[in-house]
A and B are shown apart, each in its own frame.
Chain A
């Protein structure tokens, strides 16, 4: 509830601020906007760091093999100001993440949105285009 309130508030404020900003580096150099991916899995850890936070998720593929994916998110400073906290997504949390795959083909993606088990959806603050 607490987080939801923050996210709703942050969203309202953000929508009111139609002003330009630059980002850390090019999304397109690293990720493929034509390869969206939605994955479900279990969080193994989060790195709350700059210039990008990272969320690591164990995902089972069709053969049952578990692959640890990592998703790029926004800088921890921005996430903090958006209402995220270090304990927002503890290890073991089931998540569904939408994002864009890395061009390298590795199990890496840029997170666009993270959906929690109770249906809450949190922005990533990442560098993906067309964020809500």
Chain B
């Protein structure tokens, strides 16, 4: 009975569109004239909390026609059902009028190097279904997601402390520690799945510079790799209680002849969400399913 009442209460809140996050509550306590973010003890905007990432994808106008296209798996938005209650209606309303995906080049025709485009087209043509193990996409093997390859059905958590900004992905349990204490990047011989991130504050915007990637993660299903020359710049700016503006610049000179800019957002998660375990190896039966050899035992 208690559980039923709890469910009804939560459902009523959801139906009424009232899902105050910690940030929302903060905002209600402030004068609405000009919103300013709460501050951490070291004086920076307090972005700590649970967020849903939205819009951050390499939405490509000239994506090759493959069986992927038919299923919306080209880095384009999936059906709304995938947004499983993590973000709030307020955030959804705010997101509706915001840019999402590739914003530069404006026509979303990605500046491919011909040889790199040919390599990905060759990969895609052998990927559905995979002609061999070589053509199994990285995410199907539970490889860490890289900056863009995460499954955004899952939330992100931001934790701040003096000298670092930590971005935790529920998906695949990835943690990115962005050092803001002035240290340089690690040496060039160190290559990492999620790269090496250092950050600096430009006013109220955190600018994150990431290098030292390996070449083992992917941009998306339609762009199933990147190179170890990848260099990214991310900008996090909290614009209101519900939205962190997120801008990402991708430079991968082995794939593209010019930088690509992406706009997205981290939207405040609905109250009640928590980070949960995500052990990718536990239930991944993708390889047995593709190659038809039963299922992994004892998952």
Q: Measuring CB to CB, which residues of chain A are less than 8 angstroms from any residue of chain B?
A: 2, 5-6, 8-10, 12-31, 33, 47, 49-54, 70, 72, 74-82, 102-106, 108, 123, 125, 129-132
Contact = CB atoms under 8 A, between A and B. Distances in A.
A54 B294 CA distance: 14
A22 B68 contact: no
A20 B77 CA distance: 4
Contacts of A18: 80, 92, 96
A65 B7 CA distance: 42
For the side of the interface on B, what is the size category? 35 or more
Given A22-B220, A52-B283, A13 B72 contact: no
Given A20-B54, A80-B276, 10 more contacts: A9-B10, A19-B54, A20-B101, A26-B221, A27-B71, A70-B285, A74-B153, A77-B154, A81-B86, A81-B273
B248 interface: no
Contacts of B154: 75, 77-78
Interface in B254-286: 267, 273, 276-280, 282-286
Helix, strand, loop or mixed for chain A's interface?
Answer: loop
A8 B8 CA distance: 12
Contacts of B150: 22
B66 to A, nearest CB: 8
Nearest to B172: A51
A5 B15 CA distance: 11
Given A30-B289, A80-B276, A17 B152 contact: no
Nearest to A73: B283
